[in-house]
Amino acid sequence: MTNLSVEVSSQIEQPLPGAPDNWKRFFGFSTDHKVIGIQYLVTSFFFFLIGGIFAMIIRGELITPEADLLDRTVYNAMFTMHGTVMLFLWTFPSLVGLSNYLVPLMIGAKDMAFPRLNAVAFWLVPLFGTILMASFFVPGGPSQSGWWAYPPVSLQNPTGNLINGQMLWLLAVAISGVSSIMGAVNFVTTIVRMRAPGMTWFRMPVFVWTVLAAQIIQLFGLPALTAGAVMLLLDLTIGTSFFDPAKGGDPVLFQHFFWFYSHPAVYVIILPIFGVFSEVFPVYARKPLFGYKVVAVSSLIITGLSSIVWVHHMFASGTPGWMRMAFMATTMLISVPTGIKVFAWVATIWGGKLRLNTPMLFALGGLFMFVFAGITGIMLAAVPIDIHVNNTYFVVGHFHYVIYGATVMGLYAAFYHWFPKMTGRMYSEGLGKLHFYLTLIGTNLNFFPMHPLGLQGMPRRVASYDPEFAFWNVIASLGAFLLGMSTLPFILNMIGSWVQGEKAPKNPWRAIGLEWLVSSPPTVENFEALPIVIAPPYGYGKSDPLVANPEALEVIHEPN
């Protein structure tokens, strides 16, 4: 399996006795996938807080029907930057960070296939983040055309300056595309070529299958988004006419470039979360994952189907009837492999000896949110309903149940589950549970009201609205503020536990997986000798060992 000569970081650095006293590594150009993984997680969480502040400002404006907090151009910039920061600087990088940390450990590799490329891909994130934030400081301010940047709105340049908010937005998105393509090449190569002896395809944890499925989408989809962004940049800066209707260009063509990637991109977001659910539920139900092989393969089926549904974002863009019918059918079809996973998780939990600690609570909460979002998703796939609620708060509610309800709660489940492995410390269960209940209540109070608002016709992207919508908007804003506050116990817990939490053993959850066979945190090389895998994953309730050479995996370096 590992006959590919890999360029593993040659200089063997001091093993990590306890992460806190080795923090300097996290500010340097390290090629260690564990350090890079944590760099992605911490950097993206910083941007999550920034995106969250924008969200609080938006909800502050929307608590009253009048536009009485922000100027309308500032409001446009707020939702544009909120959506862009939350997706390109929080969601994608945080999932790459989690995958970076876990995949080599889970397949029994010493590092990613291309460690230096890995580091370069990470350092592009703070670069494009800075470029995007710089758009607040140029004349005219940030882009106001939403995270879609649809022309002709995105081609307006009131200042006439070459350097403007929209131009910087496009540059940032193009650079994020390059960084993600680098990551995708690295992940696919690592998973295909770096598996330890005996780690055959149907011995690979589902998390690794979902990362592979997500990164294949990045490889085939991102070039379309990057090409669309570059063509729009050329229209905006040197006056070409790809999408400019005034010059014979076709603005709807941009929508196809944008959504050909951005719909599959929602699976780049949710697939690794499906992986987290598949890792967490068996551990805390003490049962094997039901239908392991089907769950694994359905990830790749989702990858394939995700590339033939994008026009469901354009049912109100003058799309011909036959095309709407076709894409309505393909969109509904994608709920089949997704449904298979949901049934498999319910069957895994059912009758299990459940341990409701923080990771399990967040995974259960995330699953509940996903099922609710899935149901409204199927409603939106139906052309007659979509025509009615397109561009309303029903859509905003739907995708926030997926990207906050399922994705953010799924990420929290992962953070708590693998925190002991990453830091060598245990987190506070009390603060964890407080964080969970505040998040669960806040998320539903914040995003559920958006559904009746949308069905009643409240459009999105407006700073003022008809007073008949006031009741639900007040509830949503109060929910948003609670959700904002719910992040405090999490931050306290993560920093406090990382610095002075109780020392964590190798395997605090009695979980089955290669990452739990080495110390917490693992040494720089992960494994002294490569594991020899002899059993499929999730063998809960069974006695057969996962590897043939557990004692050879690591020689503990006693701290001086």
Q: Nearest to Cu ion by Cβ — which residue?
A: 263
Pair 87, 28: CB distance under 8 Å: no
- For 213, the token pair is 């499925």
The reply to whether omega before 521 is within 30° of 0 (cis) is yes
Q: Is the alpha carbon torsion for 231, 265, 52, 54 positive or negative?
A: positive
- If one counts every other C-beta atom within 10 angstroms of the C-beta of residue 37, the result is 25
**Which of 41, 87, 182, 364 is the binder for ligand HEM (CB under 6 A)?**
87
Distance CA 188, CA 214 (A): 10
Nearer to ligand HEM, 114 or 260 (CB): 260
Nearer to Cu ion, 40 or 261 (CB): 261
**Which of 31, 80, 144, 298 is the binder for ligand HEM (CB under 6 A)?**
80
CB of 263 to Cu ion, least distance (A): 4
Nearer to ligand HEM, 260 or 284 (CB): 260
Q: Which of 382, 402, 184, 217 is nearest to 307 (CA)?
A: 217
Pair 280, 363: CB distance under 8 Å: yes
CB of 305 to Cu ion, least distance (A): 12
Nearer to Cu ion, 33 or 263 (CB): 263
DSSP at 392: B
CB of 79 to ligand HEM, least distance (A): 4
Distance CA 497, CA 425 (A): 6
CB of 460 to ligand HEM, least distance (A): 3
> Which positions from 109 through 148 interact with ligand HEM, judged by CB under 6 A?
146-147
Nearer to ligand HEM, 193 or 460 (CB): 460
Distance CA 303, CA 235 (A): 32
Token pair 């049934």 in the structure block, residue: 343
Distance CA 418, CA 218 (A): 25
Helix axis angle, 321-333 to 358-381, nearest 10°: 150
Distance CA 364, CA 356 (A): 9
Distance CA 129, CA 39 (A): 14
Question: Is 438 among the residues that bind ligand HEM (CB under 6 A)?
Answer: no
Binding footprint of Cu ion, residue count (CB under 5 A): 1
Question: Is 398 among the residues that bind Cu ion (CB under 5 A)?
Answer: no
DSSP codes joined into one string, 9-70: --S-PPP-SSGGGGGGGGGS----HHHHHHHHHHHHHHHHHHHHHHHHHHHHHHTSSS--SS
CB of 259 to ligand HEM, least distance (A): 13
Partners of 533 in the β-ladder: 547
Q: Which does 403 bind (CB under 5 to 8 A by kind): Cu ion, ligand HEM, none?
A: ligand HEM
Nearer to ligand HEM, 328 or 480 (CB): 480
Q: Is the alpha carbon torsion for 366, 372, 376, 377 positive or negative?
A: positive
Q: Which of 226, 225, 214 is nearest to 183 (CA)?
A: 214
Q: Which does 263 bind (CB under 5 to 8 A by kind): ligand HEM, Cu ion, none?
A: Cu ion
Q: How many CA atoms lie within 13 A of 111 on its CB side?
A: 24
Nearer to ligand HEM, 83 or 359 (CB): 83
CB of 85 to ligand HEM, least distance (A): 9
> Which positions from 452 through 491 interact with ligand HEM, judged by CB under 6 A?
460-461, 480, 483-484
Question: Is 536 among the residues that bind ligand HEM (CB under 6 A)?
Answer: no
> Which positions from 448 through 487 interact with Cu ion, judged by CB under 5 A?
none
Nearer to ligand HEM, 131 or 445 (CB): 445
Q: Which of 43, 224, 24 is nearest to 123 (CA)?
A: 43
Q: Which does 52 bind (CB under 5 to 8 A by kind): ligand HEM, Cu ion, none?
A: ligand HEM
**Which of 278, 319, 428, 446 is the binder for ligand HEM (CB under 6 A)?**
446
Q: Is the alpha carbon torsion for 398, 399, 400, 402 positive or negative?
A: positive
Nearer to ligand HEM, 131 or 408 (CB): 408
Nearer to ligand HEM, 305 or 480 (CB): 480
Question: Is 324 among the residues that bind Cu ion (CB under 5 A)?
Answer: no
Binding footprint of ligand HEM, residue count (CB under 6 A): 25
CB of 206 to Cu ion, least distance (A): 23
CB of 372 to ligand HEM, least distance (A): 16
> Which positions from 191 through 210 interact with ligand HEM, judged by CB under 6 A?
none
Question: Is 52 among the residues that bind ligand HEM (CB under 6 A)?
Answer: yes
**Which of 34, 59, 110, 263 is the binder for Cu ion (CB under 5 A)?**
263
3-state helix/strand/coil string of 461-526: CCCCCCHHHHHHHHHHHHHHHHHHHHHHHHHHHHHHHHHHCCECCCCCCCCCCHHHHCCCCCCCCC
Stretch that binds ligand HEM, among 77-85, 136-144, 420-428, 525-533 (CB under 6 A): 77-85
CB of 154 to ligand HEM, least distance (A): 11
Q: How many CA atoms lie within 13 A of 8 on its CB side?
A: 16
Question: Is 425 among the residues that bind Cu ion (CB under 5 A)?
Answer: no
CB of 313 to Cu ion, least distance (A): 5
Cβ within 8 Å of residue 46, ≥6 positions away:
none
> Which positions from 366 through 425 interact with ligand HEM, judged by CB under 6 A?
396, 400, 403-404, 408
CB of 266 to Cu ion, least distance (A): 6
Site residues for ligand HEM per CB under 6 A: 52, 55, 58-59, 79-80, 82-83, 86-87, 90-91, 146-147, 396, 400, 403-404, 408, 446, 460-461, 480, 483-484
Report the interface residues with Cu ion, using CB under 5 A: 263
